[in-house]
Structure 1
Amino acid sequence: MSRMINPPGRHPGAALLAVCLAAAAMPLTFTGTAVALPAIARDLGGSPVALAWVTNAFMLTFGACLMAAGALADAHGRRRVFLAGTGGFALASLAAGLAPDILTLDLARAAQGLAAAAAFSGGMAALAQTVEGPARLRAFSLVGTAFGVGLAFGPIASGTIIDAAGWRMIFALVAALGLAACLAGARALTESRDPAATGLDRAGAVVFTLTLTLLTFATLRAPETGWSDPLVILLLAGTLAGIWGFIRIEARQARPMLDLSLFRNPRFAGVQLLAAAPAYGFVVLLVLLPVRFVGLDGMTATEAGRMMIALSAPLLVVPLLAGRAARWISPARLCGGGLVINAAGLAWAALLPADAPPAALIGPLLTIGIGIGLPWGLMDGLAVSVVASDRAGMATGIFSTIRVAGEGIALAVVGALLSGLTLAQLAGAGPMDATRLAARRLVAGDAAAALAALPGQSHAALLAHFDAAFDLLLLILAAVTLATALVVFVMLGRSRDRAAACA
């Protein structure tokens, strides 16, 4: 059991509010900054690489430090790590908003990610000690909803803020959310820690961070140069060596940052697979669809935003309903069923007629959002419910790392896959180099550059080829999501007693 540092009696509703505020701010600062990149480039300048790190620096430090932050929370106090994280997040956000040049902004973004990792891991672990039983699952469904709202509505809200007040106000908004979370947490959270924790596994943290850095570089470079590029191959080889080294280090630790024995528990392994599912069944669409709507279909930003509401609006309601439904329906059925619905929506979108009006997509997008909303509201609670409460920090760190890292990797891999499928559809349309360039430009939403690369093709013909590739991609994602649903249903459906015997 965890040792309580302060006496109990804090209000769990206020503690939940603090964690929800932090959970909404983190994805908002990621998706919002992606929308702001053109305005940042006009204001601060910078090379394409420097501009890319405005988004990548946050994702890298956030994903790489989550497990380490979870271990620190267990060892030094969940409330303490949460307060340090939310306070640091607010300060780093202010620094980003005041950055005079692109290098300062990149460094502030890296600091934001580091602080966000501490806030998220500490807050989730602290909340797990505040509420118990069925209330814990409902509380974490609210946290999942807050995270989903920040992720899904970040682009729309940020676009409005940028048009009205400039890109710097985005960072002012997330700084205010971070400060509010810090103040609420200081009043509401009770301190606790794992008395058996031994502190940070420094060797494991360093190797894990380096491994994720190599993988991030590889997945960012591969869509431009191809997976056969020698540097990409070298980076991937380094990633594999890092994974091997990390496993060896963790296997020798008495209290490892990543307890590999947990993966013998089918329910724990199932939750980790569930953490990755939204990346390829939902998150990739938050990036790919606006690019397609604006860059290729000719919609305005406002029209594209309205279309995206159909995809993201269910996250306002469905996770809450899932938390309530969990009183009567098992999480395995809710999560597995949600992924089946998600896969059906993806397939429905892929099978729409080529001449269907844009409004025809509303039904499939709603279905996709409803489907992913069911597990979204339960995942965070399941992440801590499948382990002993005194290991909640580590469990949260593992789960969150897989979710955050999975989103970045999925975006890169799916982007490369879409480029390959588009290239296959364009086969014979022109010289190979020009065709490859046109495929990449179409995926980036630059129809004019694609036409310039293949002047013998009409705009309508290029869009038809891209639509065929996009539909095939959706079918692949549907198949992967359906397979995930089956595995998740089986693994989460294992009885607690049987699963415990495997741990």
Structure 2
Amino acid sequence: MPSPLPSRASAAGPVPGRYDRFLILGAVCLAGLVLPLSFTAPPVAIPAIAAELGGSPVALNWMTNAFMLAFGSCLMAAGTLADTYGRKRVFSIGIVAYAIVSLLLALAPSLAVLNGLRIAQGVAAALALAGGNAALSQEFHGPARIRAFSLLGTAFGLGLAFGPSLAGWLVQTQGWRSVFLSSLAIALLATVFGVPRMRESRDPDAAGLDWRGSLSSTAMLALLTIGVLEAPERGWSDGWVIAALIGSAALLALFVRVETRAARPMLDLSLLKYPRFVGAQLLPIGTGFCYLALIIVLPVRLIGIHGLSALNAGLMMIALSAPMLVVPFLAAVLSHRIAAGTLCAAALLLAAAGLVWLGVEAAAGSVHGLIAPMLLIGAGSAVPWGLMDGLAISVVPKERAGMAAGVFGASRVSGEGIALAITAAALAGLLQLRLSSAIGVDGATLTQAAQRLATGDAARAQALLPQLDAAALVHSYDAAFAWLMYGLAGLTAAIAGVVFALLGDASAHEPAALAEPARDDRIELADEPAC
């Protein structure tokens, strides 16, 4: 396949020096750290928020769901905005708006106001992430780019992994409002140190925002997110869940129809012909099954089922998260000798082996025996986590970097949400099978008990099933948890095989040759104001 023509970049301002580029990278990585913190940290503050502001369980859960809904559904449109109106401008608007909304969240007088602000925070986060990723791809090239995106992936993973621990400490020592003030502080650092040093860049061929494509894609992703978020609680057969998923499928068909007819679509559907582009979108789904799902279900098992304190459970979870501090950098070094796609596939297989090991230990009722397989899973997950952002950007021509960042962000959020929903539904289903075989009956009470046990509420589950003692409930949970691990291992291994087939020789060092032979792969650079 022919390579794209060399970039004829022009800049009205000076090229940032090494120190300025380092600050730009630091600013985008701070954004990459604070955005997942916004997803994982606030749920820890729910009890404290409920004590002060009140609210039903459903309303309290929407404090998390509102952010995820807005964030996931706006990412693709945000990427198009970055390509059209400038990556620096979109990042600047997003990170400043994120800081302002974080301050307002810390001052929220009611739960209704807080949930509304969480929607605004999700939109701002989408702008910051899509604009920041695209801007980063313009400042770093060759081996430096893969190192930069490895650091960004590490920051994202650390935000997911350590967000609950940070939030727990803040809530306990400073109150729940300090959780949002910490996000404000990090966003201000990113704004002050990064934005003034960025150069503006955009797609020179952009013909304005594809409004029909943007609206249909945002609505499609919103309905998909609603269906995925509500399915574990309502059930997959619930009317609202089915309606949301059907509506999402219909809007997807509309989106494809709109994009195939648009002169300058927000998503170039012809990119789906390229295996590398498709393979890059599968990586966050793989890490969703082998890593992110464990961040959710492991604390439930450790605290709710085996009675560990929150502090001890948090210390054990470090085994899963600690590899994120080191492994992405090692992966960046190895990628100079081994293709990044091959590394990612091999690492996912390593994580799958760790999941099998974790299942064996769980079936035996072990607690501390989980530490070694957690380290193996964390190490295997950290490789694609550190490389997949760079791969997602590198497999498209540089002038569509914002589009690539938006598509990959939407794929990541949607894929991870689906992975979490499947994991939650599978655990509840496996628990229902184990409990049914233990007592020999089935029914609504058993279903409710299984759902309670899946969320770590062993006391309520035992109250619903008095014929089972606490030891029998724990044994049933451990057996179901083990089979869940085996299932996640199988899914992770299958994704690893597909990733290797599609992405095996792909490198995150240089852009793939996806452009037409006669296409001018230009990047317009202008030293323009941020906003």
Q: TM-score range by the shorter chain?
A: over 0.9
Q: Could you tell me whether the CA contact under 8 Å between 2:362 and 2:482 is conserved in 1?
A: no
User: Counterpart amino acid of 1:282?
Assistant: Y
Quote the Cα distance in structure 1 between the aligned partners of 2:475 and 2:212. Answer: 51
- Select the residue among 454, 457, 478 that pairs with 1:446: 457
**Residue 37 of structure 2 is aligned to residue 28 of structure 1:** yes
Change beyond 3 A, Cα 1:196–1:177: same
Quote the Cα distance in structure 1 between the aligned partners of 2:422 and 2:212. Answer: 29
Shift in Å, 1:487:
1.2
- Select the residue among 474, 478, 483 that pairs with 1:472: 483
**Residue 63 of structure 2 is aligned to residue 48 of structure 1:** no
**Residue 15 of structure 2 is aligned to residue 8 of structure 1:** yes
Quote the Cα distance in structure 2 between the aligned partners of 1:374 and 1:184. Answer: 28
Q: Could you tell me whether the CA contact under 8 Å between 2:452 and 2:458 is conserved in 1?
A: yes
**Residue 235 of structure 2 is aligned to residue 226 of structure 1:** yes
1:133-212 counterparts in 2 under 5 A? 133-212=142-221
Question: Equivalent residue for 1:307?
Answer: 316
Quote the Cα distance in structure 2 between the aligned partners of 1:476 and 1:145. Answer: 27
Q: Could you tell me whether the CA contact under 8 Å between 1:265 and 1:502 is conserved in 2?
A: no
1:322-370 CA distance string (max 9 Å, x none): 1122112210221111101110110100112644541100001000000
Q: Could you tell me whether the CA contact under 8 Å between 1:4 and 1:193 is conserved in 2?
A: no
Q: Which has the higher contact order (CA 8 A, sep 6+)?
A: 2
Shift in Å, 1:5:
5.2
User: Counterpart amino acid of 2:291?
Assistant: F
SS in 2 for 1:192: strand
Change beyond 3 A, Cα 1:389–1:421: same
1:457-490 CA distance string (max 9 Å, x none): 1111111111111111111110110111111112
Quote the Cα distance in structure 2 between the aligned partners of 1:484 and 1:392. Answer: 25
Quote the Cα distance in structure 1 between the aligned partners of 2:33 and 2:16. Answer: 26
**Residue 436 of structure 2 is aligned to residue 427 of structure 1:** yes
Question: Equivalent residue for 1:235?
Answer: 244
Q: Could you tell me whether the CA contact under 8 Å between 2:284 and 2:416 is conserved in 1?
A: no
Quote the Cα distance in structure 1 between the aligned partners of 2:434 and 2:235. Answer: 17
Identity level (%): 50
User: Counterpart amino acid of 1:487?
Assistant: V
Q: Could you tell me whether the CA contact under 8 Å between 1:79 and 1:185 is conserved in 2?
A: no
Question: Equivalent residue for 1:363?
Answer: 372
SS in 1 for 2:436: coil
Q: TM-score, normalised by structure 1?
A: 0.96
Quote the Cα distance in structure 2 between the aligned partners of 1:480 and 1:355. Answer: 23
Q: Could you tell me whether the CA contact under 8 Å between 1:3 and 1:193 is conserved in 2?
A: no
Q: Could you tell me whether the CA contact under 8 Å between 2:397 and 2:514 is conserved in 1?
A: no
Shift in Å, 1:500:
4.2
Quote the Cα distance in structure 1 between the aligned partners of 2:301 and 2:286. Answer: 22
Q: Could you tell me whether the CA contact under 8 Å between 1:279 and 1:410 is conserved in 2?
A: yes
Quote the Cα distance in structure 1 between the aligned partners of 2:139 and 2:388. Answer: 18
Quote the Cα distance in structure 1 between the aligned partners of 2:401 and 2:103. Answer: 31
User: Counterpart amino acid of 2:476?
Assistant: H
Structure 1 runs not aligned, ≥5 long: none
Question: Equivalent residue for 1:118?
Answer: 127
**How many pairs are equivalent?**
503
User: Counterpart amino acid of 1:344?
Assistant: A
Shift in Å, 1:403:
0.7
Q: Could you tell me whether the CA contact under 8 Å between 1:71 and 1:199 is conserved in 2?
A: no
User: Counterpart amino acid of 2:282?
Assistant: L
Change beyond 3 A, Cα 1:495–1:104: closer
Quote the Cα distance in structure 2 between the aligned partners of 1:248 and 1:41. Answer: 45
Shift in Å, 1:48:
2.1
Comparing 183-192 with 426-435, which one deviates more in the overlay? 426-435
SS in 1 for 2:361: coil
SS in 2 for 1:426: helix
Q: Could you tell me whether the CA contact under 8 Å between 1:79 and 1:190 is conserved in 2?
A: yes
Structure 2 runs not aligned, ≥5 long: 1-6, 517-531
Question: Equivalent residue for 2:525?
Answer: none
Change beyond 3 A, Cα 1:117–1:32: same
Quote the Cα distance in structure 1 between the aligned partners of 2:364 and 2:199. Answer: 58
- Select the residue among 370, 374, 387 that pairs with 1:378: 387
Q: Could you tell me whether the CA contact under 8 Å between 2:428 and 2:451 is conserved in 1?
A: yes
1:232-271 counterparts in 2 under 5 A? 232-271=241-280
1:146-191 CA distance string (max 9 Å, x none): 1111111111111111111111101111111111111122222111
